[in-house]
Amino acid sequence: MPSPRVQPFTFSVGPVTASPEALVALSAPIGYDYDPVYLDTYERTLAKVGELFQSAGDIVLMQGEALLGLEAAARGLVRPGTEVLNLVNGTYARLYGELLRALGARVHEIDAPDDDAIDPADVARALEQHAGIEVVAVVHCDSTAACNPIAEIGPLARSHGAVTIVDAVPTLGGMELKVDEWQLDVCVSAAHKCIGATPGLALMTVSDAAWARIEANPAAPRRSYLSLLDWRAAWFGQRRFPHTTACSLVLSLEAACDAVLREGLDASIARHALAARAARAGFRAAGLEIWARDGVQANTITAVRMPDGVTDESLRARMRGAYGVVMHRTPDSRQFRIGHMGMTASSLYPLVAVGAAVQSLSDLGVDVDVGAATAAVLAELAAADQAEAVGRSGA
Amino acid sequence: MPSPRVQPFTFSVGPVTASPEALVALSAPIGYDYDPVYLDTYERTLAKVGELFQSAGDIVLMQGEALLGLEAAARGLVRPGTEVLNLVNGTYARLYGELLRALGARVHEIDAPDDDAIDPADVARALEQHAGIEVVAVVHCDSTAACNPIAEIGPLARSHGAVTIVDAVPTLGGMELKVDEWQLDVCVSAAHKCIGATPGLALMTVSDAAWARIEANPAAPRRSYLSLLDWRAAWFGQRRFPHTTACSLVLSLEAACDAVLREGLDASIARHALAARAARAGFRAAGLEIWARDGVQANTITAVRMPDGVTDESLRARMRGAYGVVMHRTPDSRQFRIGHMGMTASSLYPLVAVGAAVQSLSDLGVDVDVGAATAAVLAELAAADQAEAVGRSGA
Amino acid sequence: MPSPRVQPFTFSVGPVTASPEALVALSAPIGYDYDPVYLDTYERTLAKVGELFQSAGDIVLMQGEALLGLEAAARGLVRPGTEVLNLVNGTYARLYGELLRALGARVHEIDAPDDDAIDPADVARALEQHAGIEVVAVVHCDSTAACNPIAEIGPLARSHGAVTIVDAVPTLGGMELKVDEWQLDVCVSAAHKCIGATPGLALMTVSDAAWARIEANPAAPRRSYLSLLDWRAAWFGQRRFPHTTACSLVLSLEAACDAVLREGLDASIARHALAARAARAGFRAAGLEIWARDGVQANTITAVRMPDGVTDESLRARMRGAYGVVMHRTPDSRQFRIGHMGMTASSLYPLVAVGAAVQSLSDLGVDVDVGAATAAVLAELAAADQAEAVGRSGA
Amino acid sequence: MPSPRVQPFTFSVGPVTASPEALVALSAPIGYDYDPVYLDTYERTLAKVGELFQSAGDIVLMQGEALLGLEAAARGLVRPGTEVLNLVNGTYARLYGELLRALGARVHEIDAPDDDAIDPADVARALEQHAGIEVVAVVHCDSTAACNPIAEIGPLARSHGAVTIVDAVPTLGGMELKVDEWQLDVCVSAAHKCIGATPGLALMTVSDAAWARIEANPAAPRRSYLSLLDWRAAWFGQRRFPHTTACSLVLSLEAACDAVLREGLDASIARHALAARAARAGFRAAGLEIWARDGVQANTITAVRMPDGVTDESLRARMRGAYGVVMHRTPDSRQFRIGHMGMTASSLYPLVAVGAAVQSLSDLGVDVDVGAATAAVLAELAAADQAEAVGRSGA
C-alpha cells in the first residue's frame, strides 16, 4: 500500500511529526531580527518556553541541535580538573561522560543497568564521598527509555553545592519537569520533540548559580558559537543577539508553545502518559517485552526487546515498505523504539505504531498475536476515557 | 486521550484530509489573475485535471462546491420538456431527479436497490422505449457506496444520441474513470475528495456534444454564476475568466494533481482499492455487514450496516471523544460511512478507521470482535504487499 | 530587472496581494466541516465579518466569487415585474441593470457621469415618483473609482419601504461602511479585496427586511447554488451547510479579519485613505489627471486618465517588463487603474505604483515629471505622519 | 501610514525578506531524517548548493548561523602557532583576526582602508615574506560594502601552498563567486542572504586540501558541534548525520536553490548588480556619498556616508515609523546600509529603499533632493531594460 508519494506515519524519537501550528507558523514572512516586532516576539517566546520548563529563570535558545546546548553546558561549567558526577544508565549519558573527560573533568560515574533508573541513595552517597563534586550530569530519559528521578537528584546536588546539567531533550512537554521546584540548574531540551516544532533550536534554562560558575570559569567559551556567556552578555545585558537569530524557527517555536499551553501542560503530559501506556499494553499483549522495568518507563519513548532473528534493518524496512510507517533507527540491536511525542502521543497513533510493528514482526516470522496487540491498545484507551468520564461525573 | 488541541484523524467523505502538497501550495503568494504567469498556471492545471479524467476534451473549473457543477450541467442541458433518464440507487441521484423535475424535465427513472448497481440492460431497455431521451444522469458512486457501471452506460447513451451527466464527485483519482473511452459527456468531480485538495472548485469535463446541446438550449444560463457558456466564451474563446478566479485554490489543485500524477493514476487507484478492501475485511471480521453487495462496492467509501441500538450521533461522539477520530455524518440512519480518499487511502489509515469504529461500537455495547477486526485489516495489507512482491519478482 | 522568478508587485483591483496572515492560515490542515471545532470557527468568522460590516444582522458567506453574491441578491429579491431603482455611474452598475432586466424587473435608472457620484436628491425624487419601487441597487465604488453616498441612499430607500442591494466589493475594510447605521439591506463584498484574503468567498449581510422579501418571493432560488434561502434554512435554521464549505478559505478569512480587527477598522480605513491620497498627489505632480472629481474619489482604487498615444496593453507591458509591477487590465481605454487594497495600502506601496506607472509613461514618450511624482507621494506620506504626530502630542 | 499590523519592507543585510519559494517549503511536513526520502532530499540539496558555489567539492551544511561555519573553519585549520595571513578592510575581518589570535595563531594582517579593496600585490608580497603562512583569511564583502578580489587572492594562496578561508556570507547568489575556478578552499555563506531562505544554516565548501589539513590538525574539534570532521566522518563516510538535521531549513534551502537555479545564477547576479547600481544612482542624485570607492562596491549591500547631524537610530526610527521601511542597524556610525539581497534585489525595491532613506533624511533636516533621487533610481532601471532590449534585438 505505501507509495513514495504518500506521507508515511513517523514515530521517530525526533524529529517528530511536527504539529500543524508549528508548521504553519514556519511559513510566516520574517523581518529584520532587530525590528521591535521581532524583539517582542523573541521575548514572549522565551517566557513561554520558561512556562514549559516551569522555571522563572533565564531561558537561552541556542541556535542548533540539542547537542549544541549540552556541549555548551559542559564547556561552560567544566575546566580541567572539575569534579563531575555523571549518572549513567544509557548511551547518551555514556557519551556525555566522554565529552566531560575530553574537557579535562575528573568524572565520577554511577552506573545503573540500562533498564533501570539511577538510585538517588547512590547519588547521595557519591556526593558525600567526593566533597569536591561541582557538577552533576544526568539524563532524564536515556536511549533505553528508562527515566531517572531528577526530582530527587536536583535537591541532592544543590544541597551539596553542585550544579546540575540535565538532558531533558525527549521529555519537555511530555513528562513532568519542574525545573525550579526540582532545583535543576542547566536543563536542555529541543524544539523538535514533545513540543512538536522542527529541529534547529536547543532550549535551555540556566540558573543563577550556573551563571555564576560559568562566569567564573576561565575555560568557559567566550566569543564562540558554543558560548553561553555571549548570549548572557548580548541578550540579558543589551537585548541583542550574538548572531542573527533563526527567525522562522523562533516563530514556529512560539506557535508550538502556544499550542501546548492552550491544551495545558498537565493535559499534554497526561496525553503522553496514556499513549505510552497504550503502546506498552499492545506490545505486551503481542507477547513482547518492554525493555525498561515498570515504574521507570518513559512516557515519550517505548523501547521493546527485539525478538530473536529480527534486525532493526529488516523490521524498519518491512514497516516502511508494507505499511508506510517509519520507526527510529535503533542505536542498540537488542531493542526497537517507538516515539510518542507531540502529535504521535494522541488519538490512535499508538494503534498505528503497535499495529505496524507487530504485524511486521509477524510477517518476519515472529510468533506474535496481532489481534491481541491491537485490541489491547484500544482497550487501554477505552479504559482511560471511561476512567476520565467517571472522574468527571464524580467531580 | 483526545484533546481539543490535537488534530483528529478525519475519515469524512469530503472534505478529506488534504495532502501536504495541496496545503503547502495554498500558502503561496498570489498575483493578478491576468498576469501571464498565472494564465500559464491555469492552463497547465486544466491539462493536468484532464489527465486525471483521462479526457482530451474541455475542462472547466467552476468556482464553488461540486454541487455548482452538477446544477450547472443540469441547467445547461435541460429545458422544460427535455426527456431525461435518471438512474437512481441512492440519495444523490434521487435529489438530482428533483432538480431535473424542478427545471421542467420529463424524468424517467430506473431504480435499483441502494445496495446494488444499476443494470445496463435496464438502461438499454429504457432508451429503446423512450426515443426522446436526450440526457442520461448517473451517479458513479452514490451515498451508499454502491457504484454504477458507467463504462457501459456511457456508450449506451451515446449510441442512443443522448448526452450523459456523470456525478463522479467521490471517485476521480480513486477509482477507474475514463471519460473519453467511456464516452461520458459532462463529468463532475471536486478538488476536495480523492485528489486531496481543499473544497471550492468543481472539476468538469464537457464534451463537444454537450457543448452543442448547451449552446442550443435557450434555457441554459447565460451571464450567470451557473453558466457553463460564460466559461466557454470567456476562457475557450478569449483566454479570459467570467469572474476573478480562486487563485489559491487553483495553485493548490495543480499541486494536488502533480502529486497524483507523480504517483501514477493507476497506483493511486490501486491504493484506494486496497484501503477499501482492508476496511471491508476489518468490518466483516468484527462481525459487521458491508452495505453494498460484493462487486459494486466503492473504493473510496465504505458503508457499513449500523448495528441495532446505536445511532450515528452516539457512534460519532464516541469515536471523536474517546479516540480522536472523525467520521462523516450519515444521511441514512441504517449505516455508518468511512471515507478512503487521498491520504486516508494509504498506510495504516484503514486500521485507524476500523479500530476507532469497532472499538466504539464495543464501548456502546455491541458485540464485535475488536482484535479480529484490526488483525484482519493488517492481514489484508500484508497479503497485498506479499502479492505485489510476488508480482515484482515474477515480472 | 524583472525576472520570471521574482514575485512582481501587484496593484490589481483584486485579487490583491494577500496578507501574510491570510496566506499562512490557508496552509492549516482542514477537517470535516461538521466537526465541532470547525463549526465554532465558522460561527466566529461570521461574527468577525459582521464586525467589519458594522452589522449585527445575518452574515452569509456564499462560496464563490463576489458576483455569486450579487446575482443571488438580485434573484432573491426580484421576480418578473418587480420595480427596481438602479443607480448608475459606472460599468458594474450598468451590468447589474442588465441582470435585473433579464430577471424580469422593471428597472428605473438614474445615471450620473462616470466621474461623479449619484445625487441623493435624485434618488429621493425617483422614489417619490415611482411608489412601486421595491429594491434600490447601488454600487459603493464603481469601476471609475467614483463613490456613491450610500450613507444617505440607505435611509432614503428604507423610509420608502424599499430594500437596498449594495455592491461594496472593493470597499469593505478600506472605506467607511456602516451597514446597520446606514440601513443597508443586502451588502455584498469579497474576501480578496481590502481584507487581504484570497478569492473564493462572497461576504454578505442580509437584513430581516430582505429575508422577509426573499422568503415571500416565489421566484427566489430554492435548492440551488444561487439560493440565499438554502443558506438561511441550513445555517440559521439548523447550523448546517447547504453544501460542503470551503474550509481553507474560511480559516484564511478568519485570519484576515483578525488582522484587520487587531489593527482597528478605523486605522485600516485611514491607511487606505492615505495611500490613495499619496497616489493621487503623485499622479497629479506627474502632470496626469485623476478621473473622478474631488470629493467622490475612492480610497481603494485610483483611476487616472490615460494619456494620448498610450494603450492599456503597452503601459501594462512596460510596467511588468521593465519594473516588475503588475496593474489591473482596464475595462475602459480612457483610464488606467491602481488598487490600494490591504497590503498595498500601506508603507511605500503607493511610491512603487506611481513610480512604475509614471516612469513607464515616460518611457513610452509621454511628457511626465517622474521626480515630481515620486517626491509628491513621499511628501504626502511625510505630511500625514507629521499631522498624526501633532495630533498625538496635542491629545 | 505604517501600522503595527502591516508587514514593513525589510532591507536588512540579513535576515532578508525570504522568497515565497523558501517560505512555502518551510511549512511542508517533515519526517525522520534517516528516512530514505529525506536522505535523497539532503543529497540533492548539497548538489544544488554546490552549483551555487560553482564547486564540485564537498559541501557541508553546518546547523547554525554563518558564524558557526566561520568559527569551525578557523578551529579546523588553526592550532597554536599556525601562521595566518588575515586581510582586513572591515569589521568582520578585524573580528576574525581576534578569533584567530585567540586560537593561538600567529596572525599577519594586511590592512586596507575600509572603503577600498585589498591589493593582491600586497598579498603576494606578504606570502613571499612569510613562507610559513598556512592559511589566508579574507572577507569577500565586508561591513562597509567594499569587496575584495578573491578571484586573484585564491590562486596566490594556493600557489603558495596555503589554504583560504573565505567569508562569502553576503555574496553567494548575488555576486560572482567561483569557488573551484578561483581555487578557494573553505568558503562560508548562509541561507538567509542572497539565496532568500531563512537563518539557521551555514553553507560551506571544503576542498580536499582543506580536509587534509584539518584531519592533520590535532587541535581541530572532534566530537563537537564545531567539528567539521564529525560531518566528514558521518555524512561523507557513512551517509549519516552527527546530530539531527534541521529538516525544515533543508527543505526550504532546496526550494530557494531551485528558485535561483531556475532563474539562472548569472541572471540572479545581474539582478543584484542592477539593484545596487540603481540604489547608488539614487543616493548620489540625492546628494549623498557612497562609502566604498567605485570599482570595489558590493552588489548586495550599499553603504552610504551618514550626513552630519543624523544618527543611525534617528534615521531608522523615521524610516520605520513614517514609511514602514526597515533598515539594518549600522555597526559604524559613519554610515547607513541597505541590503539588496534576494527579493529586495528585484523590481522596484531599490526605489522603496532609496525613497524611504532620502525622504527620512529630508524629514530630519538634511538637504537632499528627494525627487532627483527617486527619479535617478527609476532612470537607471529604465536604461538597463533599454540596454537589455537592444542586446536582445541585436542578438
Give me the sign of the Cα torsion angle D221, D227, D229, D233. Answer: positive
Inter-chain touch B27–D28, beta carbons under 8 Å: no
Please give the helix or strand (H or E) that residue D95 lies within, else none: helix D91-102
The string of pLDDT tens digits covering residues A279-294 is 999 999 999 999 999 9
Q: What is the pTM of this model?
A: 0.97
Q: How far apart are CA C218 and CA C221, in angstroms?
A: 8
A311 touches B: beta carbon within 8 Å: no
C5 band by pLDDT with thresholds 50, 70 and 90: low
Please state the φ and ψ torsions of residue C305, each to the nearest 5 degrees: -65, 130
Q: Which residues in chain B land under pLDDT 70? A: 1-5, 389-395
D31 touches B: beta carbon within 8 Å: no
Among residues A327, A171, C30, which one has the least CA distance to residue B7? Answer: C30
Q: Looking at residues D134-143, what average pLDDT do you find?
A: 97
Give me the sign of the Cα torsion angle B75, B78, B80, B86. Answer: negative
Q: How far apart are CA C312 and CA A185, in angstroms?
A: 68
Measured between CA atoms, the residue of chain B closest to residue C200 is B246
Q: How far apart are CA C57 and CA A250, in angstroms?
A: 41
**What are the Cα distances from residue A75, in Å, to A67, A78, A102, D72, D226?**
12, 5, 10, 16, 12
pLDDT value of residue B391? 64
CB–CB of D64/D74 below 8 Å?
no
For the cut 70, the answer to whether the pLDDT of residue A248 exceeds it is: yes
B329 touches C: beta carbon within 8 Å: yes
Among residues A260, A249, A251, which one has the least CA distance to residue A200? Answer: A249
350-389 in chain A: CB under 8 A from chain C: none
pLDDT value of residue A391? 64
D319 touches C: beta carbon within 8 Å: no
A5 band by pLDDT with thresholds 50, 70 and 90: low
pLDDT value of residue C1? 41
Contact list in C for residue B28 (CB cut-off 8 A) is 23
CB–CB of C191/C201 below 8 Å?
yes
Q: Would you give the DSSP letter of residue C169? A: T
CA angle A165, A167, A173 (to 5 degrees): 125
* Shortest Cα distance, chain A CAs vs residue C325, angstroms: 21
Inter-chain touch D225–A32, beta carbons under 8 Å: no
pLDDT value of residue A43? 98
Please report the ipTM that was assigned to this predicted complex.
0.96
Q: How many CB atoms lie within 10 A of CB D159?
A: 11
Among C20, C23, C28, the residue with its CB nearest the CB of A20 is C28
B287 touches A: beta carbon within 8 Å: no
CB–CB of B301/B144 below 8 Å?
no
Q: C-alpha dihedral over C14, C17, C18, C24, to 10 degrees?
A: 150
Among residues C252, C241, C143, which one has the least CA distance to residue C196? Answer: C252
Characterise C213 by phi-psi region: left (phi > 0), alpha (psi -120 to 50), beta (else). alpha
Inter-chain touch D27–B23, beta carbons under 8 Å: yes
Q: What one-letter code names the amino acid at D359?
A: Q
Inter-chain touch A381–B271, beta carbons under 8 Å: no
Contact list in D for residue B28 (CB cut-off 8 A) is 20, 24
Q: Looking at residues D148-175, what average pLDDT do you find?
A: 98
CA D261 from chain center: how many Å?
18
- Residue D99 CB partners (closer than 8 Å, separation 6+): A223, D70, D71, D74
Please give the helix or strand (H or E) that residue B87 lies within, else none: strand B83-88
Strands D202-206 and D58-62: antiparallel
For the cut 90, the answer to whether the pLDDT of residue D281 exceeds it is: yes
Contact list in A for residue C28 (CB cut-off 8 A) is 20, 24
The angle, 0 to 180 degrees and rounded to 10, between the axes of the packed helices D312-323 and D349-363 is: 110
Q: ω into residue D15 within 30 of 0, thus cis?
A: yes
For the cut 80, the answer to whether the pLDDT of residue C372 exceeds it is: yes
pLDDT value of residue D331? 78
| Between B157 and D2, residue with greater pLDDT | B157
**What are the Cα distances from residue D360, in Å, to C379, C386, D329, D366?**
10, 12, 15, 9
223-262 in chain C: CB under 8 A from chain D: 259-260, 262
Q: Looking at residues C4-27, what average pLDDT do you find?
A: 90
* Shortest Cα distance, chain B CAs vs residue C12, angstroms: 6
Please state the φ and ψ torsions of residue C43, each to the nearest 5 degrees: -65, -45
In this predicted structure, which of A4-8, A217-221, B24-28, C332-336 has the lowest mean pLDDT? A4-8
Q: Would you give the DSSP letter of residue A236? A: I
Q: What one-letter code names the amino acid at C92?
A: Y
E strand residue ranges, chain C: 9-11, 58-62, 83-88, 106-111, 133-139, 163-167, 186-190, 202-206, 301-305, 325-327, 335-339
Q: How far apart are CA C76 and CA C218, in angstroms?
A: 9
Strands B202-206 and B58-62: antiparallel
Among C5, C27, C347, the residue with its CB nearest the CB of D323 is C347
CA angle D102, D104, D110 (to 5 degrees): 80
Neighbours of chain D (3+ CB pairs under 8 A): A, B, C
The string of pLDDT tens digits covering residues C189-217 is 999 999 999 999 999 999 999 999 999 99
A327 touches B: beta carbon within 8 Å: no
Q: ω into residue C15 within 30 of 0, thus cis?
A: yes
Give me the sign of the Cα torsion angle C124, C126, C128, C131. Answer: negative
* Shortest Cα distance, chain A CAs vs residue B196, angstroms: 11
C28 touches A: beta carbon within 8 Å: yes
A8 touches B: beta carbon within 8 Å: yes
Inter-chain touch D8–A65, beta carbons under 8 Å: no
DSSP-derived 3-state class of residue C283: helix
The string of pLDDT tens digits covering residues C101-117 is 999 999 999 999 999 99
Measured between CA atoms, the residue of chain D closest to residue A6 is D37
* Shortest Cα distance, chain C CAs vs residue D308, angstroms: 21
Inter-chain touch D351–C371, beta carbons under 8 Å: no
Q: What is the DSSP string of D321-375?
A: HHH-EEEPPPSSTTEEEEE--GGGGSTTHHHHHHHHHHHHHHHTT----HHHHHH
pLDDT value of residue C395? 41
The string of pLDDT tens digits covering residues A336-371 is 999 999 999 999 999 999 999 999 999 999 999 999
The string of pLDDT tens digits covering residues B346-389 is 999 999 999 999 999 999 999 999 999 999 999 999 999 888 76
Q: How far apart are CA B203 and CA B195, in angstroms?
A: 11
CB–CB of A59/A84 below 8 Å?
no
B·D CB contacts under 8 A: 14
Q: For residue B335, what are the β-bridge partners?
A: B305
pLDDT value of residue B392? 59
Determine which of C248, C253, C326 to mutate to test the interface with B (most B C-beta atoms within 10 Å). Answer: C248
For the cut 70, the answer to whether the pLDDT of residue C31 exceeds it is: yes
Among residues A6, A9, A7, which one has the least CA distance to residue A350? Answer: A9
Quick one: cell of A283? 506490545
Quick one: cell of A319? 514497516
* Shortest Cα distance, chain A CAs vs residue B6, angstroms: 7
Contact list in B for residue D25 (CB cut-off 8 A) is 24
Contact list in A for residue B321 (CB cut-off 8 A) is 385
Q: Say how many CA atoms lie within 13 Å of A4 toward its Cβ.
A: 8
CA D164 from chain center: how many Å?
16
Sheet of B83-88: strand order equals: B58-62, B202-206, B186-190, B163-167, B133-139, B83-88, B106-111
E strand residue ranges, chain D: 9-11, 58-62, 83-88, 106-111, 133-139, 163-167, 186-190, 202-206, 301-305, 325-327, 335-339
Contact list in D for residue A65 (CB cut-off 8 A) is 63, 225, 243-246
Q: How many CB atoms lie within 10 A of CB C126?
A: 18
CB–CB of B142/B70 below 8 Å?
no
Please give the helix or strand (H or E) that residue A152 lies within, else none: helix A150-160
Inter-chain touch B348–A356, beta carbons under 8 Å: yes
Among C190, C226, C247, the residue with its CB nearest the CB of B199 is C247
* Shortest Cα distance, chain C CAs vs residue A376, angstroms: 28
pLDDT value of residue A395? 41
pLDDT value of residue C14? 87
Mean pLDDT, chain D, whole residue set = 95
Inter-chain touch C246–B65, beta carbons under 8 Å: yes
Contact list in C for residue B27 (CB cut-off 8 A) is 23-24, 26-27
Contact list in A for residue B262 (CB cut-off 8 A) is 5
A386 band by pLDDT with thresholds 50, 70 and 90: confident
pLDDT value of residue B122? 98
A·B CB contacts under 8 A: 150
